[in-house]
Structure 1
Amino acid sequence: MSASSDPNMLAKAEVLIEALPYFQRYAGRTFVVKYGGHAMGDPEAARDFAEDIVLLKAVGINPVVVHGGGPQIGEMLKKLGVESTFVDGLRVTDKATADVAEMVLSGAINKQLVGWLTGAGGKAIGISGKDGGLVRAKKVERTTRDPDSNIEKAVDLGFVGAPEHVDTTIIDTAVASGMIPVIAPIGADAQGNTYNINADTMAGAIAAALGAARLFLLTDVAGVLDKQGQLLTDLTPADMAKLKDDGTISGGMIPKLETCVSAVEAGCEAAVVLDGRVAHAMLLEFFTARGAGTLVRA
């Protein structure tokens, strides 16, 4: 059988042709990818992810990876005998916990990701938000309402931060040198204090500052589902407000979508929530007409 009549070869050629306009449209643009969850602990999924990122770089797109690591921090704290408490899903972070978070995120996980990307043929550089003044952090303020008195009280989360300012110089320098930046969600405030930052929030702030063409949030779910369990593929902030009001969107999906909205309203062209457990989900979402996740745009 000749290559021209082999169905598998023809299918591959058709996929490349379908992807061509996307390659052309986004050459030289930036994609920010938040990576974590199930896929990070699965060697095969990690290999797929690394190959996807290196492919994006090879076709002229500039990927920037921001990674999480909550479960790994939890495991290390347990090994060290440090107990954790949570408020609204955020880990209360004292100085000892902040030191462990930095060690795990900026050390073990960050360099493991760099290794995966290098193994897939890329040139990656691991940094944190502290490097080059990339992310200046501010302390996160939270309140909680006492169920008995109904009085709202301030909660001190310790060294839990949020991005206050993003200086993309170190990212721009790395990208111009042909590198793939891999960023740990750690930042410092104006006094040099270290803060642990939610990885979704960090990725959204960086995507906005870079004017990224896409922000990808890889999660453990297919995306936003309607009440019949069907994937909602295209949403605006107004759509999401309605879905939140009627209870379609709830729980952990709310902060992810709030991150998407903040990013697109601050300069990122579009954000996508998609299932990081699906092999090559990011490529399917971006380089095919059918897509694979929930796209959010202003």
Structure 2
Amino acid sequence: MRYGMNPHQSATMTPVSDRAPFTVVSGSPSYINVLDALTGWQLVREAAGAFGVVAAASYKHVSPAGAALADSACSAYERARDADPKSSYGDFIAVSHPVDAELAGVLKRVVSDGIIAPGYDEGVVGTLAGKKRGTFLVLEADASFESPEHEVREVFGLRLTQQRDDLPLTRGLLDPRVPDAAARDLLLGMIVARYTQSNTVVMVKDGTTIGIGAGQQSRVDCVRLAGEKADEWWSRRSSEPLTEVAMVSDGAIPFTDNIEEAHRHGVTHIAEPGGSIRSEEVAEACAAHGITLSQTGVRLFRH
């Protein structure tokens, strides 16, 4: 690799088994490129498998700036990047399906570090490889690669091992009263939360993340940050109030102030693990604001 977390750190990458999850088609990756690529690829592969359409994500510093579903790779990425275009500046792109000339044409005009996808149509790699004076990174994912059952991390001389987070995220985790369209948005939000640094809150509307509050120590700050981004996204589209937003929290909502803040940003459906000492109060606050609450029993922390 070109370098580690920072240019003054050297770094290498070595496959755990006899095969790697991707091949380098063009360019030379850095440590953070690889983290973004592998995390983003897992997100879009899971989302595409869950919904049967194309998924794309725009990654920055191991969390998505945006993610979206669509019928084409180009539309999915444009929706993902438009979720938070300021944060997507210099992003790493993940797409669940092969990259075609239409998407390559869009990527020629945006500032981005690289892309991972399961394939590239003829001539596309040449178009992409010329970006950033030839340093744009193009990775081809092995779509059949499966992660080992356990993940290993070494920190300060200590090796930590845990089971890979592969719990199925299904409609059965949600309240039966949730309409199908909102259920899709909640499930997409859960998938996105699974691959976002905690604490995180994800707001979704019509198959697109419209606000992601990631990496905050306070959960209500996650809600506030996601809501501000959602409001900005909506203001570019309409002068009407934002409504019908689905919100996912990767951990239990601890206080009703989270619900008050969510209500301010048009949230009408929430999915969160539940199980906090104030979960009953949280449920009552949701009912008071007409918000359907799904307490899934599934925490989705990522650190």
Q: Which has the higher contact order (CA 8 A, sep 6+)?
A: 1
**TM-score range with shorter-chain normalisation?**
under 0.3
TM-score by length of 1: 0.25
TM-score (norm 2): 0.25
Name the structure with the higher helix share. Answer: 1
